[in-house]
Structure 1
């Protein structure tokens, strides 16, 4: 009997036992090194995950969603918590450039007018306090559905770094106030609004602009980096970054950054109740390239360019070695990847010929 690692009878347990997903508890290989840009920063990356062939399948038949009753919204059922003001300002900048052709929710009766009204109020506040002239300096460009006042990369809405972005007292129509658990109890936090069981930016099946995240689709069409266009918690998936401060035996403190797989457990206790989850499904490991290549942009944002350079060089050398030893029995892992601890979903995808 397969040990799922999750409570008996939960959707996670049943999915693993049915072999729809592979268990999350499996051997992993790690690479640890000192950040070339900072001797007080140690980076630890999960090679088993970065050398897997995982692909996000949102918007395809291979993604049934974490909620079977809402199968066209992927994992976007809860809304996205914003990590800080920069995250909020970047979201405002991109939202300002969305049209009803990009964003399904914007086409609802009264929504377009409400969004435009918020931007007009924002611009008026920015103009009245001298921080802007009613357009780009206020933190988001033109009202939604109008031509942007700045560049398509979202830089027009995040300010020039000389001071805080001015906002009206009225909360952005696409956000709500919520709470997150902090060290001292619940703390106030902002998140994207949930509409009809999913994030306000989730375009549904049948929308002419395409199923999926409106921010993601807009970014791809306009050649904007996803790390600019989407909230941080969204663009990081399927990667999970952990930060810890450690005291070494000699008394020196270092910061340790760990990058690994965003498993069900990364979502907290509710992860075991998802009807399905992608990172352990072999059908989502049918890609031809390793994650360290396909998610270069995100890894550079998480680790910095020097840190990513070390990871890329190490992974590249492993792949080169695997190619050299491909004809040697036992020379590489059964999947053909340069690992002993291959991700089980990647290995299963190879076994099934996916």
Structure 2
């Protein structure tokens, strides 16, 4: 059964790196509906304002914990971050049993997530700060936060010349990518056509994120290919007159 269509692009700046894209998703009309119909991953149980931020955000090698701490201490305050006092007192970051760093969970959600009724606005305080500063939200948020609904996996294979070929797969962030907890979600937006209502395809609405993930040359080649696909698909066909 056909499920996904993929396209691979070799990085012109590194012949030992290849990107494989889930073009079925990138060509789709998916759009985040936070604040416009999203009830969170546990509808009826959680505050909808938490959205999918129920487990805290794990930081990866591209994230700088000190930068988050600086934003907390110097840029955010009680008027813009609901749990600002708690974050200053006990820290906004913590570690799991494996020593992985993540944002702390307070009352069922990420400590940076403002809840329903907060006068500073619901949702991620870091996101609001970026918008107020005229920045893209990826500037301040942990990597996993701005990448969702995109997911990256990296695999090392053997190249034809005997070297290491690094294969990056960019696909939709499905339940399984959350680990065991994903199967327990009462709702996940990528499973519901209510979230596939965007005017433009994902590869255009998430251009900033994709450029950050794969670099400008690879993104340009991907976008040119998908633009061509869309032109071909939308071409008007007239019936014969005779």
CA distance in 2, matches of 1:80, 1:268: 14
CA distance in 1, matches of 2:82, 2:116: 10
2:76 aligns with one of 79, 90, 98: 98
Structure 1: stretches of 5+ with no match in the other structure: 1-24, 119-171, 180-186, 330-354
Identify if the C-alpha distance between structure 1 residues 82 and 327 changes in structure 2 by more than 3 Å, giving closer, same or farther: same
- Aligned partners of 1:174 and 1:193 also within 8 Å: yes
Show the counterpart of 2:94: 176
Q: Which runs of structure 2 are paired with 1:136-215 in the superposition (5 Å)? A: 173-179=91-97, 187-215=98-126
Q: Which runs of structure 2 are paired with 1:292-311 in the superposition (5 Å)? A: 292-311=203-222
- Aligned partners of 1:90 and 1:228 also within 8 Å: no
Residue range with higher mean Cα deviation, 212-221 or 254-263: 212-221
1:74 aligns with 2:45: no
How many Å apart are 1:70 and its aligned residue?
A: 0.5
Deviations 1:57-103 (A, max 9, x none): 1123x111112211321111111111137431332243231122221
CA distance in 2, matches of 1:235, 1:80: 11
Show the counterpart of 2:166: 255
CA distance in 2, matches of 1:26, 1:211: 40
Q: Which runs of structure 2 are paired with 1:53-132 in the superposition (5 Å)? A: 53-60=29-36, 62-68=37-43, 69-72=45-48, 73-84=50-61, 86-95=63-72, 96-106=74-84, 111=85, 115=88
CA distance in 2, matches of 1:290, 1:306: 19
TM-score w.r.t. length of structure 1? 0.63
Show the counterpart of 1:50: 26
TM-score w.r.t. length of structure 2? 0.90
- Aligned partners of 1:78 and 1:198 also within 8 Å: yes
Show the counterpart of 1:221: 132
Identify if the C-alpha distance between structure 1 residues 297 and 176 changes in structure 2 by more than 3 Å, giving closer, same or farther: same
Across the two proteins, how many residue pairs are aligned to each other? 236
CA distance in 1, matches of 2:128, 2:114: 10
Identify if the C-alpha distance between structure 1 residues 244 and 85 changes in structure 2 by more than 3 Å, giving closer, same or farther: closer
Specify the structure having the higher radius of gyration (Cα): 1
Identify if the C-alpha distance between structure 1 residues 282 and 320 changes in structure 2 by more than 3 Å, giving closer, same or farther: same
Q: CA RMSD in A?
A: 2.0
- Aligned partners of 2:63 and 2:143 also within 8 Å: no
CA distance in 1, matches of 2:210, 2:83: 31
CA distance in 2, matches of 1:71, 1:53: 26
1:34 aligns with 2:10: yes
